Structure 1
Amino acid sequence: MSDLIPGLPEEVARECLVRVGFDQLPVVRRISRQWKWEVESPYYSRLRKAEGLARPMVALVQAQPTADDAGPAVHKGSSAAAATGGPANFYRMVLLDPAEGRWTALPTLPGPMESIPLFCHVAAADGGGRKRLVVVGGWNPETWAPMNSVYVYDFLTGAWRLGEPMPGPRRSFFACAAVGGTVYVAGGHDEEKNALRSALAYDPEADAWTALPDMAEERDEPRGLCVGDRFLVVGGYPTQAQGRFVGSAEAFDPAASAWGPEREEGLVPDGASPRTCCVVPGTERAYMLHDGHLVARDGAEASAWRTVAQVPEDARAATTVSALPDGRVVVIGSACHGGEQTVYVLREEAGKGGAVWARAPAPPEFSGHVAASLFLEI
C-alpha cells in the first residue's frame, strides 16, 4: 500500500487529513481509495473529536429569502415557486457556525420539490463514524398535504438521498430526536387530527424502520429530546384536549425497549408548549422560552425552572432555541410574528449570576424565517 501522502510518515499524513474542513470531505474521499477509507473510518471522526477539531454547528430549516431581500441570484425553488416568480414556501437546510459567524447552505433536496417540507422534523444521527442529517415528514410546501418522506444528508458524500418512507399513518407535529445513530419518532396526529401514542425508530445506516411499543398517553405536538441514552417525549396533549398542553413526559430506553414516566409532576409547566425546549448535549440541563424569558432546568431532579435572562425585544417572538455543549444558547426569533428574523447567542456567566446576549448578524441571503434548528457536531 502506498503512502497516504507521499514523502510523509503515516502519522503526520493522518494529522494533515484530520484537519480538513468538513465541507471539503466529499472532495477528499474522491482523491484515492486510501483517503476514502481513511475519512470514512470511525477512527477518523473519533480522532477529530479527540483533538478538538470537531465543529459545533447549528442546523437550520430556513426559508429562502425573496429576490428583493437577497438580490437577483436567489434560487427560485420548486416549479410552482418559479411559476409565481418567488420562493413560495421554499425552505432549505442551512448550517450556522456560531463561533465564526459563518453561514452555509446545503444542496437542495433531490426530486422535483427541492424544498425542505414545511413543519418537518430534523435529527442529527451519528452512526458508523458518519454524521447524517435526517429530515422526517412534514407537509408538501405546494399542496400542504402531510408527507411520510425521509431525506438523509451525508456529510461525507455532501449529498442527499431518499430514505425509506415513514410507515403507518401520515403523522404531523410529532416528537423526533436522534439517540446515537437511531432516529426516534413518537406521537403527533394523523390526517383525521387524532392524537397518537405510537412510536417508531429509523436506522439511517440500514435505511429501515422499526415499530416501538406505544407510549402510555396520546401526545399531539410533543417535543422530542435526546437525554443521555434515552429518547424523551415532552408535553403534548390528547385528542380531546385540543391545544391544552400537559407538562408530563415519557422516556424510551432503547436498551430495555420500554417507556417509562420521567416525572409525575411534569417537566414543563402545564399549558406551556414545549416547542422551544432543548437539552445541552451530554447533560440533563434543559432550556426553553417562557413568558419572554429564557429559563433553565439543571437536570430532571431540579425542583423548578430558573430564569436565565430576558429575551431581547427584537427576538421576543422566538421560533427556535438550540443549546451548545460549551454553554452557549442560540435563540432565533423576531420582534413580532412575521417580522425580521434575528439571531442571538447567549452565554451564562458561571458563578457570576448573569448572562450576556450577543447578536449574530446574518447576511441578506440568510435572512429568511427559521422554522426549526438543532445542534450537531461535525
Structure 2
Amino acid sequence: MEDMIPGLTDDVERECLARVPYNAFPTLFSVCKRWRQVLRDPTFHRFRKSTGIAQPVVVLVQPFFTYSTWPEHTVYRLVIFEPVTGVWSSLPPCPNFTYGLPHLCRLAAVGTELVVVGGRRIDTCLRSNGVHVYDFVSGEWRHGSSLPSPLRFSFACAATHDSDKGCRTVYVAGGHDASRRALRSALAYDVAGDSWKPLPDMVSEPFNCRGVILRGKFLVLDRHCAEAFDAATGSWGPVEEFVPQGEEFPAMCIAGWDGSIYQCAGREVMVQLDGGVWASVAELPGEMRVALHAVAWEGKLVVMGVGTRKGALVANILDIKAITTMTTPASAAWTNVEVPPEYQRYVDAACCLVI
C-alpha cells in the first residue's frame, strides 16, 4: 500500500493528519480510502484528545427568519460555536428538513457525530419521529431509523460514547404523547447499528424533563424526582440526591468533566457535593439576566442566556478547574464570548462535541 504522504512513516503521516482542523476533515475524507480509514479509526481521535489537539465544538439550535418559504413561521437551524477560535458558523442544513429543524428537537453528541431526534415539524405542527445524524468527519447527513411510537414531546435525551468498545448509544425517556399523557417508557438508539430497542419503564412519569449522562448512567431529571438507568444492570433506580433544588423549572443540570453535576439556579452556578449538598461556585456575569442553556467539556463550562440589553443572547465561559481556588463565588472569573449579531438569538437546544 502506498504511503499517504510520500517519504514519511505512517506514524508521522498520522500526526500530520491529526493536526488538521476538524472542519477540514470532510476534505481529507474525500481524498482516498486510506485517509478515510484513518479518520474513522478511534485511536486517531484518542491521539488528538491526548495531545490537546481535539477541539470543543458547541452546537446550538437557533431560530432564523426567512421570507422565501414560510414567512409566518420561525425556522430553526444548527449553529456552531468554536470556543477555542471564537468562530461562529452555521452547519450545513439537512436535506430532509425542507422547512428547517423541528421545533424543540433534541440534540445528542456521540463521538464525532451529532444526532437530532424528534421535535415538532414547522410545516405540519405535528410531532416528528425523525432521526438524523450529521457526521463531522465526512461532512454529510444521513437519515436514521425513526423514533418508535408513541411519538413524544418534551422528553429527556442524552448520549454515551465508549470508543474502545465501539458503543454509541442515544437514550430517550419520558415526555408526553399527542394526547399530552405523561410517558414512563424509555428507548435506546444504537447509532452504529441504526436500531432502537425498548428499555424498562420508569417508575415516575417525567413530563418536561432533561437527560444527563453521569458516571456512565443515564439520569432523567424533572422538578420533583430523578431516576437513573444503569446499562450494566438494565434497570432504573431512584437517585434522590440528584433532584435539583430551587424554583426554576426545568432545572438546568450539566454533567462536568470531573464526574460532578452542575446546576444553574437563579444567578448562581452550583455543584453537588458528597451527600447531595449543593454548593455555589460562581455567580452569573452581570450582563446575563438569566441563564438558559449550558454545556461542558474538559475543564470548561459555557453558559448561554438572555442579556440585560434588548434580550440578546450572551455567552460566558467559566474555568471549572480554577473555581476550586476561588474564595467566594463572586470572585469566579468569566471569559466573555463575542456573539456576532446574526447569532444573538434564543437558543432552543445545545450540546458539545470534542473533535
Q: CA deviation at 1:364?
A: 2.2
Q: CA deviation at 1:313?
A: 4.3
Amino acid at match of 1:121: R
The gaps in structure 1 that reach 5 residues or longer are: 67-75, 236-244
Q: CA deviation at 1:293?
A: 2.0
Structure 2: distance between partners of 1:318 and 1:336? 11
Structure 1: distance between partners of 2:193 and 2:82? 30
Structure 2: distance between partners of 1:34 and 1:266? 46
CA distance 1:338–1:278, shift in 2 (3 Å): farther
4+ aligned runs moved over 3 Å, structure 1 = 83-86, 335-338
Q: CA deviation at 1:116?
A: 1.6
Amino acid at match of 1:7: G
- Of 176-185 and 9-18, deviating more is 9-18
Q: Does 1:332 align with 2:318?
A: no
User: Is the contact made by 1:188 and 1:196 (CA closer than 8 Å) also made in structure 2?
Assistant: yes
User: Is the contact made by 1:268 and 1:274 (CA closer than 8 Å) also made in structure 2?
Assistant: no
Structure 2: distance between partners of 1:342 and 1:279? 21
CA distance 1:314–1:58, shift in 2 (3 Å): same
1:116-155 CA-to-partner distances (Å, cap 9, x unmatched) read: 21111100113xxxx2100111111233321111110111
User: Is the contact made by 2:131 and 2:143 (CA closer than 8 Å) also made in structure 1?
Assistant: yes
- Of 158-167 and 285-294, deviating more is 285-294
Match of 2:195 in 1: 208
Match of 2:39 in 1: 39
| Secondary structure in 1 matching 2:123 | coil
| Secondary structure in 1 matching 2:264 | strand
| Secondary structure in 1 matching 2:348 | strand
Q: Does 1:52 align with 2:52?
A: yes
Q: Does 1:311 align with 2:284?
A: yes
1:188-245 CA-to-partner distances (Å, cap 9, x unmatched) read: 011111111100000111111000000111110111000121111112xxxxxxxxx3
Match of 2:271 in 1: 296
Q: Does 1:177 align with 2:158?
A: yes
User: Is the contact made by 2:61 and 2:349 (CA closer than 8 Å) also made in structure 1?
Assistant: yes
Alignment partner for residue 321 of structure 1, among 279, 289, 294? 294
Match of 1:140 in 2: 121
Amino acid at match of 1:280: G
Q: Does 1:370 align with 2:347?
A: yes
Q: CA deviation at 1:270?
A: 6.6
The gaps in structure 2 that reach 5 residues or longer are: 162-167
User: Is the contact made by 2:262 and 2:270 (CA closer than 8 Å) also made in structure 1?
Assistant: yes
Q: How many residues align?
A: 344
1:300-333 CA-to-partner distances (Å, cap 9, x unmatched) read: x34421122332344223220112221x221111
What TM-score do you get using the length of structure 2 for normalisation? 0.91
User: Is the contact made by 1:287 and 1:323 (CA closer than 8 Å) also made in structure 2?
Assistant: no
1:260-299 CA-to-partner distances (Å, cap 9, x unmatched) read: 1122x55212754244211113x3322222122222223x
Match of 1:241 in 2: none
Alignment partner for residue 88 of structure 2, among 94, 103, 110? 103
Q: Does 1:344 align with 2:319?
A: no
Amino acid at match of 1:207: D
Q: Does 1:273 align with 2:249?
A: yes
Structure 2: distance between partners of 1:135 and 1:112? 11
User: Is the contact made by 1:189 and 1:220 (CA closer than 8 Å) also made in structure 2?
Assistant: yes
What TM-score do you get using the length of structure 1 for normalisation? 0.85
Q: CA deviation at 1:341?
A: 1.1
Match of 2:165 in 1: none
User: Is the contact made by 2:183 and 2:206 (CA closer than 8 Å) also made in structure 1?
Assistant: yes
Structure 2: distance between partners of 1:37 and 1:317? 45
Structure 2: distance between partners of 1:187 and 1:362? 34
User: Is the contact made by 2:318 and 2:334 (CA closer than 8 Å) also made in structure 1?
Assistant: yes
Q: CA deviation at 1:62?
A: 1.7
- For 1:25-174, list aligned pairs within 5 A: 25-64=25-64, 66=65, 76=66, 81-83=67-69, 85=71, 88-111=73-96, 113-126=98-111, 131-174=112-155
Q: CA deviation at 1:90?
A: 1.5
Q: CA deviation at 1:163?
A: 1.0
| Secondary structure in 2 matching 1:36 | helix
| Secondary structure in 1 matching 2:202 | coil
**Root mean square deviation of aligned Cα:** 2.0
